[in-house]
Structure 1
Amino acid sequence: MEPRPRSFYVLATFFTLFLLFLYGPTLTIAILSFQGPSGGLTFPMKGVSLHWFHDLFQQQAVGDIWGSFRRSFVLGLMVMITTVIVSVLGGLAFRKRFAGSGIIFYLIITSLVIPSILVSLGVGLIWSQSGLPVHWSTSGFGAQLTWTLPFGLLIMFAVFNRFDKSYEEAARDLGASPWQTVRFVVLPIIAPSLIGVALFGFTLSYDEFARTLLTSGSYNTLPLEIFGMTTNVTSPVIFALGTLTTLFSFGVIGLFLLIFWRIDRRRKAQGSDAGNGLA
């Protein structure tokens, strides 16, 4: 076995430092969340226990943790479903050139570079000046879509740019209607990409702060609630909350990866069965 070059160890060290930079703060919070009952917000730790996780499920003097979690979860699902639907429709629309398509494309991308706080302020003002109630499920929902839709559309543009149109032509030759072609041919083929768009939509919404700050109304989402707790809560219970929300985020990612794996496995099994039938 040939010895590894020195560049390998240099790059491996750089990659390790990069991972520590990414996940070091999260690991620090996770460790401090296991402080003993008399522990504080800093090191050194005073004992090890699950006290603060238990305390998290008790009545809190400050904030509405579980109410804000439910709001963030529902809002994430709303944004996810809307992002998937609009992204697919937009991707299908942009498969053909039409008048103004270039301008619309750049307008979509521009929303990604506009400062988030300005988007939040603008959406909040539009809602209030229109006499509509500023609420997390309306104005907050609209503000977050300005963040998730461009990502979803970019993914769909890339997917349909590589899509083999011969599958659709074969479906039409067999008598399929346009709707049947989309439903039974196009959507199954791009299903893994739809899972990616859904994951983007949910996770970007779940932890979005700036675009929700001035559009959530009287009820906080979870990121806003955690931010408010940083000025009022002086115990490791906030670290316990951070640890649980992080685990929930990883759980959502794991669920989507499992769905992707099941779809890929089923597709390979169908391809194998088709090959055996031809043999």
Structure 2
Amino acid sequence: MQARVSDARAPGFWPLAFVFALFVLFMYGPMLTIFVLSFQGPEGGLTFPLRGVSLHWFHKLAEGLGTVDIGAAFRRSLLLGAVVTAFTVALSVLAGLAFRKRLRGGNALFYVTVASLIMPSIIVSLGIGLQFRLIDSGVKSALAAMGAEGLLENYGTALGLMTSALGAHLTWTLPFGLLIMFAVFNRFNPAYEEAARDLGATPWQAFRHVVLPLIGPSVVGIGMFGFTLSWDEIARTSQAIGDVNTLPLELQGLTSTVTTPAIYALGTVTTVVSFLVMGVTVGLAMWLGRRQGKALP
């Protein structure tokens, strides 16, 4: 009798389950639709019904979409995502370590860093773009004043993938990394680190052999955040990247010119890359978590 009572569904279970199913469909339905339509045959269009099943549009994507070099944009996005990930992980870990102690002006620094999360992305992009254009004006004025005509003629702009675009992406990824590290160190037990110091370990040895293995899964998670947030960023990149485009910007531009399922094939490729990164990250975090569990008594 008791088992039957415990197995009974609450009166609101099925309505809530229906709402949850609608939420999941709303979240992942568009992605699944694009995924299915990208595998259409040569006669396929942008809408259902599905006309054949093939890899035709992926081959078309590999050949190129008009004047757009998808391969170059793909490599630029990968490079930018990798560099953003490295900076996000390094700066977040260092900031987390620094904020373990009370810092003069630390509260103001924290609020300034996190403020970029609530600012409109396009405003951040416009501000960074304007800042680098002012730098361009200053550099050109200085070169003209020095009479360096050759350098002035060859000077282009400070706007670029590894300058303004990198800074714009870090304004988006660093606050997330910082918040994660704060949460990690708030529940970090310093007894392990103190024990290592008592045994004669240097600060670097204590960090490398004790602290880093313990926070390793969280550091991997920060890396995943850094890459995925950079990989599909549009608004903060649009006004700050200069003369080249990342893959999301090219994809946004192609939505108004490409009228074949090749655009869906491109969307599928970018989504698969995101899922691969998340899968590798989850696997690495689980492996580090198991190592951490074995190491602790």
Contact kept in structure 2, 1:168 and 1:186, CA below 8 Å: yes
- Work out which of the two has the higher radius of gyration on C-alpha atoms and give 1 or 2: 2
Contact kept in structure 2, 1:62 and 1:229, CA below 8 Å: no
Question: Which of 42, 49, 54 lines up with 1:37 in the alignment?
Answer: 42
State the alpha-carbon separation in 1 of the partners of residues 129 and 27 from structure 2: 33
Structure 2 residue 109 is the aligned partner of structure 1 residue 84: no
Once the two structures are TM-superposed, the CA of residue 209 in structure 1 deviates from its matched residue by: 0.4
Q: Deviations over 1:243-278 (max 9, x none)?
A: 11111111110011111122223333445xxx6xxx
Overall identity of the aligned pairs, in %: 56
Structure 1, unpaired ranges of 5+: none
State the alpha-carbon separation in 2 of the partners of residues 85 and 42 from structure 1: 45
State the alpha-carbon separation in 2 of the partners of residues 71 and 15 from structure 1: 38
TM-score under structure 1 normalisation? 0.94
Flag the 1:270–1:170 CA change in 2: closer, same or farther, 3 A.
closer
Quote the RMSD (CA, aligned, Å).
1.4
Once the two structures are TM-superposed, the CA of residue 40 in structure 1 deviates from its matched residue by: 1.4
Q: Deviations over 1:173-214 (max 9, x none)?
A: 111111111111111100010011000000000000001001
Q: Secondary structure at the match of 1:175?
A: coil
Residue 256 (structure 2) aligns with: 231
Question: Which of 116, 135, 138 lines up with 2:163 in the alignment?
Answer: 138
Matches within 5 A, 1:70-149: 70-131=75-136, 132-149=157-174
Once the two structures are TM-superposed, the CA of residue 81 in structure 1 deviates from its matched residue by: 0.5
Residue 27 (structure 2) aligns with: 22
Residue 183 (structure 2) aligns with: 158
Residue identity matched to 1:130: I
Contact kept in structure 2, 1:143 and 1:215, CA below 8 Å: yes
Structure 2 residue 209 is the aligned partner of structure 1 residue 184: yes
Answer with 5-14 or 207-216: which moved more.
Answer: 5-14
Residue identity matched to 2:197: R
Residue 242 (structure 2) aligns with: 217
Contact kept in structure 2, 1:73 and 1:206, CA below 8 Å: yes
Residue 288 (structure 2) aligns with: 263
Residue 143 (structure 2) aligns with: none
Q: Secondary structure at the match of 2:177?
A: helix
Answer with 169-178 or 10-19: which moved more.
Answer: 10-19
TM-score under structure 2 normalisation? 0.88
Q: Deviations over 1:110-163 (max 9, x none)?
A: 111111011111111111211252112211001100000000000001111111
Residue 193 (structure 2) aligns with: 168
Residue 47 (structure 1) aligns with: 52
State the alpha-carbon separation in 2 of the partners of residues 237 and 95 from structure 1: 50
Q: Secondary structure at the match of 1:202?
A: helix
Structure 2, unpaired ranges of 5+: 137-156
